[in-house]
Structure 1
Amino acid sequence: MASTGSQPRAAHRTAPNSRHPFETGWTVFAAVLMIFGGIMAIFQGISAIAKDDVFVTTRNYVFQFDLTGWGWIHLILGIVIVLAGFALFTGAAWARAVGIVLAGLGALANFMWLPYYPLWSIVLIAIDVFIIWALCAGPGMRENA
């Protein structure tokens, strides 16, 4: 009788994956968004480094920084985000934590980039928020569900 009582419990531990088939899909979704968002940040950085006159800056904005410096920040951050996005495909737990941190840094960098290219910044902030949400909704985050 003790063995039959443990079998349904073991089946219950594997049941969340069958009840939530898209749980691992959130990790893939986050990885694809990280790669896409990272590539967009790379293009953003390259354009800021190559042509400072492409961007129109708002006067008297609180955050006034050099465009070339921001270009290098976005370029390096974009490369790291793309690499972390590829690492998410391995399923490593550290890649999930790094992805959440990098998406937060990306959102912060794009918030400070708002005076230079508002629409692009808002799109990348939204992508970063979706990445954080998808990584927090993935497997292992809801053990007791």
Structure 2
Amino acid sequence: MAHSAPAPGPVPAGSAGQGDVNPWAAGGIMFAGVLLLVDGVLGVIKGISGIASDDVYAHVRNYTFKFDVTSWGWIHLVLGIVLGVVGWGILKGADWARATGVVIAAINLIINFIWLPYQPVWALVSVAIDGFVIWALCTGESKAFI
């Protein structure tokens, strides 16, 4: 007895076909690339601020992950440069950039979580951005946007 394929037709609401792409994820990859690029620029600014002056960020006492502000400046500067390059790569549709973006966004998320006592609001915003970037890069389709 032969089985026949289901007749083509509209997909019922609430179900997704195999080729369907979540529109949030599809637009999310471009947005993730832009966010990484912007987060990279902000990281460079955070880094330069921390290197240039020890009075820019709060001084934290008795913190397990305590570094001096200059050390945090160098961490943010280097990470910011890498974030910017990876964000640009995502916007260009480079194959290496997507997986690298997930990894570098995860590292940035951890670094900003550790940096939380120094600048709580800025760190929480960065953590939220990195969470979105990881989600978007893991769920959307790759393509060049610029």
TM-score after normalising by structure 1:
0.79
Query: Match of 2:129?
Result: 127
Deviation string, structure 1 residues 27-71 (Cα, Å, up to 9, x no partner): 101101101111111111111111111212222111111211110
Counterpart position of 2:29? 27
Distance of 1:38 and 1:53 partners within structure 2: 22
Structure-2 change in CA distance of 1:67 and 1:31 (3 Å): same
Of 24, 35, 50, the match for 1:48: 50
User: What is the CA–CA distance in structure 2 between the aligned matches of 1:26 and 1:66, rounded to whole Å?
Assistant: 36
1:16 counterpart = 2:47: no
The amino acid that maps onto 2:130 is: D
Q: 97, 100, 103: which is aligned to 2:102?
A: 100
Tell whether 2:102 aligns with 1:85.
no
Equivalent of residue 61 in structure 2, options 59, 62, 78? 59
Aligned to 2:11: none
* Residue of structure 2 equivalent to 1:12: none
Q: How many residues align?
A: 128
Q: By how many angstroms is 1:20 displaced? A: 4.3
Counterpart for residue 143 of structure 1:
none
**Structure whose residues are more often helix by fraction:** 1
- For structure 2, list consecutive stretches of 5 or more residues without a partner in the other structure: 9-17
- 1 CA distance for matches of 2:69 and 2:22? 45
1:56-111 deviations in whole A, cap 9, x for unaligned? 22221111112111101100100110110010122223210000000011111111
User: What residue number does 1:110 align with?
Assistant: 112
Post-superposition CA distance 1:107-145 (Å, at most 9, x none): 1111111121111111111111111011011127xxxxx
| Structure 1 alignment gaps of length 5 or more | 9-14, 141-145
- Distance in 1, Cα, partners of 2:68 & 2:94: 37
Distance verdict in 2 for CA 1:20–1:54, change over 3 Å: closer
- CA spacing shift, 1:16–1:22, aligned 2, 3 Å: farther
